[in-house]
Structure 1
């Protein structure tokens, strides 16, 4: 860098940190945005399912949420920066309804100025040369969401000095030398600075409206014209990308769910709750840091032509140290209907009385080929049609019962939940939908007859959502089968998309209720027999989201009970527990979830001392390795020598045939759930048979 550039930056930096002057072209709301703000406020008041009171408490919550959107970790703004806008704490509601959003824009402008000054400060520090010894006893607090706002620049200078040192130490531990570290960090901060400088009025308005709508419920949101276009593409599943639904999570972009059959799902390198920190293309050496980047901009970086490769640097969902990241590669592709189709298998179970067959049908999503259906084609694809074919094949194979695997099924077409239920019951209601006025509509199956009336078990997990919950709840309410696994997601609300004069609003207008009257909202469906959680409910699920609508109930409807599985539950649970006590995978799932939670609670800061940091990392990895090796030894497999070898979904091991061969003897914990569901189903079928024989006598 030239002496002139360095001098210019130093002068700019000194000025910025001592006196924040008004920007030469301050971003101001447009008349169009003022009008849309009023439209959104009216939509929330008159169109939202919940009865929202726009009072001082709501204003305070919306203002706090806006501050979190601007500076959630308390890294840039001073208390004195916020003080002139504290009136928004009590007046936010009134001002939004009046379209008076100037002060909110001004606060964003102040935040941008502070952010720009801080990034220049970081670049200046890098220009001076980073010569850290990493031998101090200092620690860096990881999560500052609850921290007080700094009262002067020196506080933030000290904090950022630690953050810069931590960033450098993380790269040292990734085997980068000084020159590489300075290059990496300079590119990171220059990229962030460039994004700040490119901020547009639509960006500011989007952040403000995210605070407004997010204070009402997590599924209501404003979509700018550009975001609306991305939303339409995602809903049609024609997006050429990685097949993952993403959402904003503070300054990060988080993987909300994977599209069944999509590239990320098939590659097996991403998990829900993974946070994306950088994105790169196959022909580019450097990754673009996306921390703090707008969600739609991150989506644009990830999206690309079919067959091309995208590189993602992520913080794994189960990572204890958020400074430890890994890079994965995914080949972009389109999501094909056939990749989401239901599939079946026959599991053979050996018992004292001989060999038994149980059928398992995996249902990744509730899908229908709408175009073929609307065109009147006779052979259009749908979940119900494909499951019916699999049932026929399983009956011909002589299975004694069927397990429907709805794990990771995030829902889809409601009509398919209704018609799928119709394969197992002879007509009847499936779900109640209640709107904001209290009016209830009943949906269900009107076709006579059943396709399968034998023993049935439904397997769920935390990612079973929406239509999956409706189906599982109906099976439970009808007494048609047993639900096993983990409590479901708890997504029991209905959203519609409405046009605004500028953009659209996705707004919650109704709620789902089971035929028993219970809502699926927030609580989800509680299984009859509960397996250890393989997903942390504090990170994934409706109850983990801010301002999620509460659970409640309505009047039940009349429906026919097909059985009384609860009469067998005590026996089934006892038999399950006896097997689970000796099941290495179930023990692993239970202990692994608890260990991850304990490590996160203990790991509230990171050491800036290299030796101490390495000791802490080794201790954490040793605990995780010990747990993994307990499972492997119990399964008769070779224990691992180091924790990194356990990352079988990493980029290197995915391409290693040797690694795959070594893992063949190690049953995935998720597979153990399917096998146990089959065992429970067989127990259930045999108990029913015994009861029928006893009744005849």
Structure 2
């Protein structure tokens, strides 16, 4: 037995095995995972990018992550529990290294005791509490766990739960549910949560514990127990029918992390990252509340046969976050053609002349590996498809080109290098630094260029990984203006390693631009910024816990084709002036201001029914007014209902990017004319 662990148990007053008569079943370490535990330490110390030594410093971070994974909303533990459990801060490293993870189960079993006591008590009192709620009182509820501190007394925690329950009851009431239905829904939610805990097994706890240690290294290093490993591999291959969304647990809610480009959710609905799923329904059947349900069970409900419809009731991350809405999505398998590059032409009129700007939208960096292995000559790839579309656009006599990488989360590194090579002669596009410090430049060896004219790359906060490599390379070469928003900042490389049981996804290398700057954490900063509805504080590498830092290595040798920063003093003011008059951009900026206001309200949710109704009606009136002002300015028919509002057209950004490119062309021509004139005079 680990002496350090035994001593800590004695210090905290907790026993290694419970003699409690409680109904819950204590969990104990599965000894078949003792070997996995030791393997994890060996592998992390050997191949993780930072070559860490799993010591007390990492253990202390892991302790905090473990507590947060168990009780993220600070709903069950008291401060006195945390103070006592803090005696274990320095024992996580020893537990993993020695293959004796009892400490994780001692902490978990206390959490289980607190949770069962709380939820069992709540269920017995719930009908009486709901019937006794006075929605005329002026009080508020803070729903932001980051702003909360651990309750110091049971009475303080009781009051938090009272307000939490009252908020959920009021939300359901405002959504049209009667008192009996409200009680039924809430009882089901807490039964789900208890059921979720009952279904948690020793392997689940081991996985949570192991991932508290990996999270102390970086957010992308993750241990997958066998069932989770299977689900991860399914998601990577996209081989099951679903909605094309990556989901994770957030307290007792299922939250949308990101949408798969070209997938059903991205193309059929207005589902967004950070939206929370409240209920799931099958075609022709009633909705089932999924708050408190296990993530894998929710995923199983969302998956289904191709071409069938699934209904989702969601609490949106933007706008009125206390109101829910129901959306329908037809299940499809995400096919390669759904993610293929597409082209369009934006026409801009200036001084009586019409100019054409080509736009190529690339949702992901793809390659049909099966077709390549089969020896097919005409296999699909993002580079080949983009090159073909460029040839078609050049026949249309375009003046400039836009590569739209918004919402492109990455894909094949080989394709990213080849695609960047369509716009430059052969040369490096990215540098990769491994855990030994060795730097390997990668690039394009093909000297041919598909397009050498003026171009821009559109990016946003969801542009990640391979997208950032392409955008960063074209910015460094001075080949393209980068327009939009700061990108995600995913500048690390992960590999999958098999373990005795399950798999380890471990960060093993880091991406660097040819300028030497990392894309990690910082991402790619645009030359000219566009307004965005995506909150970079909530989404992106910097929004994750414990991301690897930005840094810089030596630059490589590369030419600069256009000195883009020299053009910005002319291009930026014109861009700002156009946006100030453009009805679409005016509406977007007003919407951003409204979201920031809602963010404050999330931390101060009113529990007064009249106040909430007033806020909801004001939000609807403001949304309708904003949309009708936009439509009036554009000469469109006005709307009478907020439900008829559709997202602002995506081509707003492409149109403004086209205007910027035409400004660039005009400025460049003027500079060349002045240079010729000066040369002639000399």
Q: Structure 1-normalised TM-score?
A: 0.89
1:261-660 pair list within 5 angstroms: 261-291=262-292, 293-321=293-321, 323-641=322-640, 643-646=642-645, 648=646
Find the aligned partners of 2:602 and 2:273 in 1 and give their Cα distance. Answer: 21
Is the 1:68–1:250 contact (alpha carbons within 8 Å) kept by the matching residues of 2?
Answer: no
Higher alpha-carbon deviation: 147-156 or 595-604: 147-156
> Residue 95 of structure 1 corresponds to which residue in structure 2?
95
Counterpart secondary structure, 1:358? strand
> Residue 67 of structure 1 corresponds to which residue in structure 2?
67
Is the 1:62–1:211 contact (alpha carbons within 8 Å) kept by the matching residues of 2?
Answer: yes
Find the aligned partners of 2:152 and 2:557 in 1 and give their Cα distance. Answer: 63
Is the 1:66–1:207 contact (alpha carbons within 8 Å) kept by the matching residues of 2?
Answer: yes
Is the 1:221–1:507 contact (alpha carbons within 8 Å) kept by the matching residues of 2?
Answer: yes
Find the aligned partners of 2:555 and 2:616 in 1 and give their Cα distance. Answer: 53
> Residue 208 of structure 1 corresponds to which residue in structure 2?
209
Find the aligned partners of 1:71 and 1:24 in 2 and give their Cα distance. Answer: 17
Instruction: Provide the alpha-carbon RMSD of the alignment.
Output: 2.3
Is the 2:24–2:113 contact (alpha carbons within 8 Å) kept by the matching residues of 1?
Answer: no
Counterpart secondary structure, 1:381? coil
Find the aligned partners of 1:144 and 1:530 in 2 and give their Cα distance. Answer: 32
Alignment partner for residue 656 of structure 2, among 658, 671, 676? 676
- The number of residue pairs the alignment matches comes to 658
**1:573, CA displacement in angstroms?**
1.7
**1:585, CA displacement in angstroms?**
1.9
Deviations 1:426-476 (A, max 9, x none): 111110000111101111100121111111111111111111110011111
Deviations 1:72-106 (A, max 9, x none): 11212234444543221232223222223212112
> Residue 8 of structure 1 corresponds to which residue in structure 2?
none
Gaps in structure 2 of 5+ consecutive residues = 1-18, 678-682
**1:261, CA displacement in angstroms?**
1.3
Counterpart secondary structure, 1:87? helix
Find the aligned partners of 1:635 and 1:45 in 2 and give their Cα distance. Answer: 60
Deviations 1:461-503 (A, max 9, x none): 1111111110011111111121111111111100011011111
Deviations 1:277-322 (A, max 9, x none): 333322431313244x44434322322221222222222121454x
Find the aligned partners of 1:390 and 1:63 in 2 and give their Cα distance. Answer: 52
Is the 1:260–1:364 contact (alpha carbons within 8 Å) kept by the matching residues of 2?
Answer: yes
> Residue 16 of structure 2 corresponds to which residue in structure 1?
none
Deviations 1:216-263 (A, max 9, x none): 211111111111111112212222100112234444332222111111
**Aligned CA distance change for structure 1 residues 344 and 645 (closer, same or farther; 3 Å):** closer
Gaps in structure 1 of 5+ consecutive residues = 1-18, 650-667
Counterpart secondary structure, 1:111? helix
Find the aligned partners of 2:587 and 2:52 in 1 and give their Cα distance. Answer: 44
Counterpart secondary structure, 2:262? coil
Find the aligned partners of 2:564 and 2:25 in 1 and give their Cα distance. Answer: 69
Find the aligned partners of 2:127 and 2:480 in 1 and give their Cα distance. Answer: 67
**Aligned CA distance change for structure 1 residues 519 and 144 (closer, same or farther; 3 Å):** closer
> Residue 665 of structure 1 corresponds to which residue in structure 2?
none
**Aligned CA distance change for structure 1 residues 528 and 337 (closer, same or farther; 3 Å):** same
Is the 2:428–2:444 contact (alpha carbons within 8 Å) kept by the matching residues of 1?
Answer: yes
**1:556, CA displacement in angstroms?**
0.5
Q: Structure 2-normalised TM-score?
A: 0.91
**Aligned CA distance change for structure 1 residues 318 and 45 (closer, same or farther; 3 Å):** same
Find the aligned partners of 2:618 and 2:61 in 1 and give their Cα distance. Answer: 40
Is the 1:409–1:468 contact (alpha carbons within 8 Å) kept by the matching residues of 2?
Answer: yes
Is the 2:41–2:54 contact (alpha carbons within 8 Å) kept by the matching residues of 1?
Answer: no
Is the 1:255–1:274 contact (alpha carbons within 8 Å) kept by the matching residues of 2?
Answer: yes
**1:546, CA displacement in angstroms?**
0.9
**1:643, CA displacement in angstroms?**
4.3
Find out whether 1:144 has 2:125 as its counterpart.
no
1:235-274 pair list within 5 angstroms: 235-274=236-275
Is the 2:135–2:608 contact (alpha carbons within 8 Å) kept by the matching residues of 1?
Answer: yes
Is the 1:243–1:259 contact (alpha carbons within 8 Å) kept by the matching residues of 2?
Answer: yes
Is the 2:319–2:598 contact (alpha carbons within 8 Å) kept by the matching residues of 1?
Answer: no
